[in-house]
Amino acid sequence: MPSKTKYIATTGGVISGLGKGLVSSSIGKILQSYGYDVTMVKIDPYINVDAGTMNPFEHGEVFVLEDGGEVDMDLGNYERFLNIDLTKDHNITTGKVYKAVIDKEREGDYLGKTVQIIPHVTDEIKHEIRKVARGHDICVIEVGGTVGDIESMPFLEALRQMRMEEGPENVVFVHVTLVPVLDVVGEQKTKPTQHSVQRLLESGIQPDFVVARSKKPLEEKARRKISNFCNVPEENVISDPDARISYEVPLILEKEGLGKKIAKKLNLKVGTDLRKWRYMVNRMLNPKNNVRIAMAGKYTALGDSYVSILEAVKHGALANNAKVEISWIETEDFEKDKSKLEVLDTVDGLIVPGGFGPRGVEGKILAVGYARTHKIPYLGLCYGMQMATIEFARNVCGMKGAHTTECAPRTKHPVLHILPEKYQIKQMGGTLRLGSWPCKIKKGTLAEKIYKSNLIHERHRHRYEVNPDYIEKIESKGLVFSGKHPERPLMEIAELSNHPFFIGTQYHPEFKSRPEKPSPIYAEFIKACINYKKTKRKS
């Protein structure tokens, strides 16, 4: 093991959305496969203190960590690729850094000094990075945004200083850029890469590696040009063409020898390769079964808003040797025309994911009811569990107009509400229930069959809870709360016994799902979809 922590900083050039997060995760994965203890940090140069208040439409999903941190979705990639748990400290934002500096200034920590970006802000950034890196062999630091952005400058400056302080043998820079092809000439163009490396050089950072993202593998001519103009040896210009699936990226980069070359620069030993991972990717690319799942949701235009769910579905599919096709459904359509619900006859399962606010809610309730009465496998995630409870209360328990107070504050039957003061959660800051919470599972239930355990921990992000006043009535009619908090009146899982697979969770199991450790509930859901498809074909 190295005597000092080694740092790998990844920066991005030309455009955002290049897949820098995947490149960073892949580098982490490759080095982890060499036997090193790798951790990862995401720097987000925006002013928000965390991603909790950001609209998923604009910024993609808000990922939730064990400790309740609401963070950038790249941390989801890190956890999935490396199969590790991170904390909120692993997401450093401008907001967080400035807040810390300003708080210190108010407390008199800098007494007498003029507080400045250099050294006070850059010192704070370095301190935050070193804090999370401590004790690990390797720390991969992904710098969000694109070089040249005003807001990322203090972070680049801090990283430049770190290379000086830690020594060049302990810090490596990887710059990820885009190499586009102009249709008319059909040639890979390197000029944008050259310019972005120039911007990086202005910050005093010479990249050790350039990872060139392109549709097709990098041509030799382009590789030579990038090497020449960017002052990077040809063998350190890495070709990173589009992958078939994201999990293939570590294999693509390792084929280019990126891990070995980074290890050499950092005086690290090269270990065994990604044999297990390769086997997994091959299985993902060659599935035997095939199912179609309907996904109801508000941000249907943007897959990024539901990344963790889509990934967890893939992991569950992998566990069942299956390929899953997702059909996005706009539930508002059902509100206007109920006959549109028949689209659910063409799928093998339904997911109603998390959500906030009233839009499309009545349609979601209709869709859940259709899945319940037509025995279509159903997985309700957070809001989806709440919708299942409302649907059941209305249509089986006869509670007309039952609702969540989130959408109908004056409903006669508030089957979901904000818990009374004595049960409320204070330690987390806001009123959201966040992060990992324990759940006790009832014996002899589907939940027990799925988890093969009677105590689990899953991650939450919601405000409303099943109203304890209605539990007895609802359970007496057959919707069982098979998972509950061990001490508090918090309902965590709802399931139907007279249905092949109908389950809803107040938590978000997708946040803990990894390809090497699929979420059990997703795996069982996919299995149920495969079985449903088989029986449907027979009938």
Q: Is 361 in the site for ligand GLN (CB under 6 A)?
A: no
The distance of closest approach from Cβ of residue 347 to ligand GLN in the complex, given in angstroms and rounded to an integer, is 21
Among residues 33 and 436, whose Cβ is nearest to ligand GLN?
A: 436
Residue 20 binds ligand GLN, judged by CB under 6 A: no
Minimum CB separation of residue 335 from ligand GLN in Å reads 18
Segment lying near ligand GLN (by CB under 6 A), choices 219-227, 299-307, 367-375, 462-470: 462-470
512 forms part of the interface with ligand GLN (CB under 6 A): no
Check residue 382 for interaction with ligand GLN (CB under 6 A): yes
Of the candidates 136, 508, 524, 529, the residue annotated as catalytic is: 508
Q: Is 383 labelled a binding residue?
A: yes
Cα–Cα distance between 252 and 73 in angstroms, integer? 22
Q: Which stretch binds ligand GLN (CB under 6 A): 285-293, 314-322, 353-361, 493-501?
A: 353-361
Q: Which residue is nearest to ligand GLN (CB)?
A: 354
Answer yes or no: is 193 a known binding residue. yes
Stretch touching ligand GLN by CB under 6 A, among 242-250, 273-281, 459-467, 492-500: 459-467
SS (H, E, C) 282-340: HHHHCCCEEEEEEEECCCCCCHHHHHHHHHHHHHHHHHCCEEEEEEEECCHHHHHCHHH
149 is in an annotated binding site: yes
Take residue 152 and report the two structure tokens written for it: 């990322």
515 binds ligand GLN (CB under 6 A): no
Q: Among 199, 461, 499, 512, which residue sits at the site for ligand GLN (rule: CB under 6 A)?
A: 461
- Identify residue 96 by its one-letter amino acid code: K
β-pairing, 171-178 vs 138-143, is unpaired
Task: Mark 213-252 with x for binding to ligand GLN (rule: CB under 6 A) and - for no binding.
Answer: ----------------------------------------
Burial of 296 (0-12, 13-18, 19+ CB in 10 A): buried
Does 355 count as an annotated binding residue? yes
Is 16 annotated as ligand-binding? yes
Which of 61, 157, 391, 406 is in the footprint of ligand GLN by CB under 6 A? 406
Which one of 13, 21, 28, 355 is in contact with ligand GLN (CB under 6 A)? 355
110 is a contact residue toward ligand GLN (CB under 6 A): no
- Is 510 an annotated catalytic residue? yes
Which of 157, 175, 311, 382 is catalytic? The answer is 382
**CB of 207 or CB of 360, closer to ligand GLN:** 360
Quote the CA–CA distance of 215 and 188 in Å, as a whole number.
10
The single residue among 7, 34, 306, 383 that binds ligand GLN, judged by CB under 6 A, is 383
Could you tell me if 454 and 443 are in contact, meaning their C-beta atoms sit under 8 angstroms apart?
yes
Which residues are 537's β-sheet partners? none
Nearest to 213 by CA among 348, 367, 21, 49: 21
Least separation in angstroms between CB 358 and ligand GLN: 10
Please report how close the Cβ of residue 181 comes to ligand GLN at its closest, in angstroms. Answer: 41
| Helix or strand holding residue 364 (H, E) | helix 361-373
For tokens 């203090």, name the residue.
154
- Cβ-proximal residues to 379 (8 Å cutoff; 6+ apart), any chain: 349, 350, 351, 352, 501, 503, 504, 521, 522, 525
Residue in this structure with the two tokens 């963790």, named with its chain if needed = 308
Catalytic residue list contains 397: no
Has 190 been labeled as part of a binding site? yes
Name the burial class of residue 289, with classes exposed (0-12), middle (13-18) and buried (19+) by CB atoms within 10 angstroms of its CB: middle
Nearest to 349 by CA among 518, 523, 477: 523
Shortest reach from residue 325's CB to ligand GLN, in Å: 24
Q: Give the residue with the Cβ less far from ligand GLN, 250 or 380.
A: 380
CA distances (Å), origin 70, targets 22, 131, 380: 20, 19, 21
Q: Is 415 helix (H, G, I), strand (E, B) or coil?
A: strand
Q: Is 90 a catalytic residue?
A: no
Shortest Cβ 373–ligand GLN spacing (Å): 23
Coil, helix or strand at residue 205: coil
Nearest partner of 290 among 348, 371, 227, judged by Cα: 348
Options 21-29, 156-164, 283-291, 348-356: segment touching ligand GLN (CB under 6 A): 348-356
CB 404 within 8 A of CB 390: yes
**Does 384 count as an annotated binding residue?**
yes
Alpha carbon 223 to chain centroid, angstroms: 33
Query: Euclidean distance between the first and final Cα of the chain, in Å?
Result: 60
Q: What is the C-alpha separation between 287 and 323, in angstroms, rounded?
A: 6
Q: How far apart are CA 435 and CA 417, in angstroms?
A: 20
The residues that touch ligand GLN, with contacts defined as CB under 6 A, are 354-356, 382-383, 406, 461-464
Binding site per annotation, positions for ATP: 17-22, 74, 243
- The binding site comprises 16-22, 74, 142, 149-151, 189-194, 225, 243, 355, 383-386, 406, 463
Catalytic residues, by residue number, are 382, 508, 510
Annotated binding site for UTP: 16, 189-194, 225
Binding-site residue ranges for Mg(2+): 74, 142
Enumerate the known binding-site residues for CTP. Answer: 16, 149-151, 189-194, 225
